Amino acid sequence: MSDFNAAGYEDLREHIVSASGWAYIALIDDAGNEETRIDIHNDGRASWGDPSTNPVTLTVDISGGDSDISTPVELSESELHTGSGTSSSVHDDQLRDESGDPANAIVGSSDALTIEHTVNLPQ
Protein backbone atom coordinates (compact mmCIF):
# COMPACT_ATOMS: atom_id res chain seq x y z
CA MET A 1 0.00 0.00 0.00
CA SER A 2 1.27 3.50 -0.77
CA ASP A 3 0.29 7.07 0.09
CA PHE A 4 -1.26 9.57 -2.28
CA ASN A 5 1.11 11.96 -3.99
CA ALA A 6 0.76 15.75 -3.46
CA ALA A 7 -1.76 16.06 -6.33
CA GLY A 8 -3.86 13.26 -4.83
CA TYR A 9 -4.04 14.97 -1.44
CA GLU A 10 -4.97 18.28 -3.07
CA ASP A 11 -7.71 16.50 -5.04
CA LEU A 12 -9.08 15.06 -1.78
CA ARG A 13 -9.11 18.54 -0.17
CA GLU A 14 -10.85 19.97 -3.25
CA HIS A 15 -13.54 17.28 -2.94
CA ILE A 16 -13.98 18.01 0.78
CA VAL A 17 -14.67 21.71 0.12
CA SER A 18 -16.89 21.11 -2.94
CA ALA A 19 -20.69 21.26 -2.83
CA SER A 20 -20.79 17.46 -3.20
CA GLY A 21 -18.25 17.00 -0.39
CA TRP A 22 -18.51 17.93 3.26
CA ALA A 23 -21.24 20.52 2.80
CA TYR A 24 -22.70 21.00 6.30
CA ILE A 25 -21.30 22.00 9.66
CA ALA A 26 -23.15 21.21 12.86
CA LEU A 27 -22.46 23.26 15.97
CA ILE A 28 -22.69 21.17 19.13
CA ASP A 29 -23.44 22.50 22.61
CA ASP A 30 -21.68 21.46 25.81
CA ALA A 31 -24.40 18.83 26.50
CA GLY A 32 -23.69 17.12 23.15
CA ASN A 33 -26.82 18.41 21.39
CA GLU A 34 -26.79 19.89 17.91
CA GLU A 35 -27.57 23.60 18.18
CA THR A 36 -27.70 24.24 14.44
CA ARG A 37 -26.57 22.78 11.12
CA ILE A 38 -25.34 25.23 8.51
CA ASP A 39 -25.29 24.64 4.74
CA ILE A 40 -21.73 25.77 4.02
CA HIS A 41 -22.31 26.62 0.35
CA ASN A 42 -25.64 28.41 0.75
CA ASP A 43 -25.21 30.30 4.02
CA GLY A 44 -23.16 33.50 3.96
CA ARG A 45 -21.89 32.84 7.47
CA ALA A 46 -19.68 29.94 6.33
CA SER A 47 -16.83 29.66 3.85
CA TRP A 48 -14.03 27.21 3.06
CA GLY A 49 -10.45 28.36 2.67
CA ASP A 50 -8.16 27.51 -0.25
CA PRO A 51 -8.08 23.71 -0.78
CA SER A 52 -4.54 23.89 -2.15
CA THR A 53 -3.36 24.68 1.39
CA ASN A 54 -2.97 22.10 4.12
CA PRO A 55 -4.65 22.24 6.49
CA VAL A 56 -7.77 23.71 4.90
CA THR A 57 -9.99 25.75 7.21
CA LEU A 58 -13.74 26.33 7.28
CA THR A 59 -14.69 29.65 8.87
CA VAL A 60 -18.15 30.22 10.34
CA ASP A 61 -19.31 33.55 11.78
CA ILE A 62 -22.32 33.31 14.07
CA SER A 63 -24.14 35.73 16.30
CA GLY A 64 -26.46 35.37 19.25
CA GLY A 65 -28.96 37.31 17.15
CA ASP A 66 -29.05 34.60 14.43
CA SER A 67 -32.47 32.94 14.22
CA ASP A 68 -30.98 29.43 14.54
CA ILE A 69 -28.91 30.18 17.65
CA SER A 70 -30.62 29.98 21.06
CA THR A 71 -29.16 32.19 23.72
CA PRO A 72 -27.41 31.70 25.96
CA VAL A 73 -25.59 28.67 24.62
CA GLU A 74 -22.20 27.12 25.26
CA LEU A 75 -20.77 25.61 22.08
CA SER A 76 -18.04 23.04 22.49
CA GLU A 77 -17.63 21.23 19.17
CA SER A 78 -18.20 21.46 15.44
CA GLU A 79 -18.91 18.49 13.15
CA LEU A 80 -18.73 18.24 9.38
CA HIS A 81 -21.47 16.29 7.58
CA THR A 82 -22.11 15.27 3.98
CA GLY A 83 -25.85 15.99 4.19
CA SER A 84 -28.46 18.04 5.99
CA GLY A 85 -29.92 15.02 7.76
CA THR A 86 -26.95 12.71 8.26
CA SER A 87 -26.46 11.53 11.82
CA SER A 88 -22.81 10.48 11.52
CA SER A 89 -20.22 13.18 11.13
CA VAL A 90 -17.20 12.78 8.87
CA HIS A 91 -14.93 15.06 10.92
CA ASP A 92 -15.14 16.60 14.40
CA ASP A 93 -13.24 19.54 15.86
CA GLN A 94 -13.20 20.86 19.42
CA LEU A 95 -13.70 24.60 19.82
CA ARG A 96 -10.50 26.08 21.22
CA ASP A 97 -9.33 29.45 22.47
CA GLU A 98 -6.47 31.50 20.96
CA SER A 99 -3.83 29.48 22.84
CA GLY A 100 -5.20 26.18 21.50
CA ASP A 101 -6.68 25.06 24.82
CA PRO A 102 -10.16 23.49 24.87
CA ALA A 103 -12.77 26.14 25.59
CA ASN A 104 -16.51 26.62 25.43
CA ALA A 105 -17.77 29.69 23.66
CA ILE A 106 -20.71 31.43 25.31
CA VAL A 107 -22.90 33.25 22.81
CA GLY A 108 -25.30 35.84 24.22
CA SER A 109 -27.92 37.67 22.19
CA SER A 110 -25.51 40.48 21.22
CA ASP A 111 -22.33 38.37 21.04
CA ALA A 112 -20.56 37.27 17.88
CA LEU A 113 -18.27 34.29 17.43
CA THR A 114 -15.96 33.10 14.66
CA ILE A 115 -15.46 29.33 14.52
CA GLU A 116 -12.59 27.83 12.56
CA HIS A 117 -12.89 24.13 11.74
CA THR A 118 -9.59 22.76 10.42
CA VAL A 119 -9.14 19.66 8.26
CA ASN A 120 -5.60 18.38 7.90
CA LEU A 121 -4.71 15.80 5.23
CA PRO A 122 -1.01 14.99 5.55
CA GLN A 123 1.11 15.12 2.43
**Is residue 95 domain-resident?**
yes
Query: What is the CA angle 123-95-87, rounded to 5?
Result: 80
Q: What is the pTM of this model?
A: 0.89
**Count of domains for the chain:** 1
Residue 1 lies in a domain: no
Q: What is the pLDDT of residues 20-56, one digit of tens each?
A: 899 999 999 989 999 999 999 999 999 999 988 889 9
CA angle 76, 77, 83 (to 5 degrees): 145
Residue 104 lies in a domain: yes
| 60 in any annotated domain | yes
Q: Which domain holds residue 22?
A: 6-119
Q: Is 99 exposed, middle or buried (0-12, 13-18, 19+ CB in 10 A)?
A: exposed
Is residue 100 domain-resident? yes
